[in-house]
Chain A
């Protein structure tokens, strides 16, 4: 009770501050330090921090604070983006010489990209795709084949991987148009299992051993996977690569959000909720579903190409059914149909998985437990989808409100309150 009262007084006092760009910067800083400490500390501390953060979000959500923070970010878009980018650039360097931590951080970012892709299908269009790891595999194997088997630059492999995973998404999408719900999931499950089997028995891609010795990415002759010494501090080799991955993650999140707020995003949601109604409102249902599969496939493919560049290896065991389950868990945990939530889910699960390497035998058990708890406590995820506020985004108000006049506006509001 006391806490709530304090909070109210504070918000009254600091209303101006809470609505200013500084609040956004403060939020970004808090986020930065949270991520930093979670990544850098050992597993007990990092799990504890994550548990506290999740509980705090769930508690705070009762007062609709998460939504208010989102609104704040939308209102101060530019400040949020610029300060976020600066922190995003500082973040890799703050990890310095800790190779293992840098590896975890990069993995988390890559999984974030894959989950954004899966979210187009699972969150927006409500088609549970059990084959995101297969899409990642296509991207990874494209890079591996291009650089190991053909001796080409991995960038060409990445480009090929993006195109291939898009095409593969289209091809998977075609049969799934005829199925819905569980049957669609079964089809994708079969495709995931078939993919793992295919790369296992295909000698050209290395069979069980996979393809190792994938070339690292280079940018203008500048190696992205190499130890550098900056200001006399030796950095772990993943740092430049982590920067690249963060750049991709920012770009992907940006595109995903823009799609969410466009008519395509609304159309995807409508298809998810009522196909017949969507069809009778001029939305081409097949095209919308295929779009979700293709763009999701490209996102996962991109994550795969980055993954291969990080590990320098592409093998069947990396892109199996369990990885797909992990990605699905991430999306469910983070929040359906909310780009930020999905990335958060990916971060949490990726870090838990890596920090608990010692207890790898219990991994599946942990995923299962997380899923069950989430589905009971909060089926929509930690930060679920939000109502699109077109007033805030376009900074306009409906003309009709002026036309109706303030008096009716107030009267209507009073009446509404009495109804409630």
Chain B
């Protein structure tokens, strides 16, 4: 059974179909790449399935995560069902420390009531710190140096490390499905490659789960995803492996371009 299944997903912003009739399946243990020109509805698609537009009245269709119907749930409930995401422009809390940013990712994995936090028995202290330990452990697989900077404010951390923190934060809930919206935006080629190595490494740790990744860099698209889905003007125009995609005439017209003219 597919991990994520969408049927005829559409969203209409006052007459404009930002996404139209998209059927989309993601199998477990797979990385799916999402490409398409700017404004083709990639991010909007992620926003629908992660619940941000889930309750918007122009949204229609069906979304199933691991067999459960999730369209119309609040984003926080979708997250609890096992979907977490990152954003095109980083959404870390700038005025908070790295440790606190990571602990937000553990919010749902911590299990204590308000009374516990006020009386604060040893158990709560241990629980918080165990979570922080887990978070720092994961973070150190991306970059061990960040462990020492855990009490620095997020705004003082270099760009690539912010991305790493954000991905770590998304991973802390052990999601079944991870949505990465342009994780390499603003990184140079070398940084992009280290980032991708990190993502692959993490992917191996998460058994049975899947990743959807939006990316413009075709080099990355060649190496990382198992299958690629191409969006244009809100519709899915192609799906297949990298080789199939780059030879598809529709995709060449819409996105990749005809080679010579492009240069």
Contact = CB atoms under 8 A, between A and B. Distances in A.
A285 interface: yes
Contact of B107 (A263, A400, A412): A263
B190 to A, nearest CB: 17
A295 to B, nearest CB: 9
A396 B107 CA distance: 20
Interface in B77-117: 78-80, 84-85, 87, 91-97, 99-100, 103-108, 110, 112, 114, 117
B79 A281 contact: yes
Given A263-B117, A273-B94, A282-B80, A412 B103 contact: no
A412 B146 CA distance: 9
B16 interface: no
B74 A279 contact: yes
A282 to B, nearest CB: 4
Interface stretch (A48-56, A95-103, A264-272): A264-272
A235 to B, nearest CB: 34
A110 to B, nearest CB: 22
A258 B85 CA distance: 30
A410 to B, nearest CB: 10
B104 A270 contact: yes
Contacts of B137: 399-400
B52 A280 contact: yes
Interface in A273-289: 273-274, 276-285
A283 B150 contact: no
Residue among B126, B149, B151 with the highest chain A CB neighbour number at 10 A: B151
Contact of B140 (A273, A285, A404): A404
B103 A285 contact: no
A280 B84 contact: yes
Main secondary structure of the interface of A (DSSP, over half): helix
A282 B100 contact: no
B40 interface: no
Q: How large is the interface on B (under 10, 10 to 19, 20 to 34, 35 or more residues)?
A: 35 or more
Contacts of A409: 148
Given A266-B104, A266-B107, A276 B52 contact: yes
B173 to A, nearest CB: 7
A273 B125 CA distance: 25
A388 B76 contact: no
B153 interface: yes
A149 interface: no
Nearest to B111: A263
A255 interface: yes
With most chain B CB atoms within 10 A of its CB, the pick from A264, A387, A393, A415 is A387
B129 A396 contact: yes
Nearest to B124: A262
Given A263-B117, A277-B87, A416 B144 contact: no
B161 to A, nearest CB: 11
- Among A259, A389, A399, A413, the most chain B Cβ lie within 10 Å of the Cβ of A399
A284 B74 contact: yes
Given A263-B107, A264-B114, A282-B76, A258 B120 contact: yes
A394 interface: yes
B83 to A, nearest CB: 9
A389 B117 contact: no
A208 to B, nearest CB: 41
Nearest to A395: B125
Contacts of B79: 280-282
B169 A281 contact: yes
Nearest to A410: B148
B117 A259 contact: yes
Contacts of B150: 398
B1 interface: no
A412 B129 contact: no
Contacts of B120: 258, 262
B149 A400 contact: no
B246 interface: no
B233 interface: no
B151 A400 contact: no
B50 interface: yes
A92 B132 CA distance: 43
B206 interface: no
A398 B151 CA distance: 12
B177 interface: no
B57 interface: no
Contacts of B140: 400, 404
Interface in B44-80: 50-52, 74-76, 78-80
A387 B153 contact: yes
Contacts of A218: none
| Residue with the greatest number of chain B CB neighbours at <10 A, chosen from A282, A401, A409 | A282
A259 B114 CA distance: 8
Given A266-B104, A282-B76, A400-B140, A255 B118 contact: yes
A408 interface: yes
A146 to B, nearest CB: 27
A68 interface: no
A294 to B, nearest CB: 11
25 contacts: A259-B114, A262-B112, A262-B118, A263-B103, A263-B106, A266-B103, A266-B104, A273-B93, A274-B93, A279-B75, A280-B50, A280-B76, A280-B84, A282-B76, A282-B80, A284-B74, A387-B96, A387-B153, A388-B100, A390-B128, A404-B140, A412-B144, A412-B147, A416-B145, A416-B149
Rank and list the top 5 A-B pairs by shortest CB-CB distance, nearest first.
A262-B117, A277-B91, A282-B108, A282-B79, A279-B75
Interface of B: 50-52, 74-76, 78-80, 84-85, 87, 91-97, 99-100, 103-108, 110, 112, 114, 117-120, 124-126, 128-129, 132-133, 136-137, 140, 144-145, 147-151, 153, 169, 173
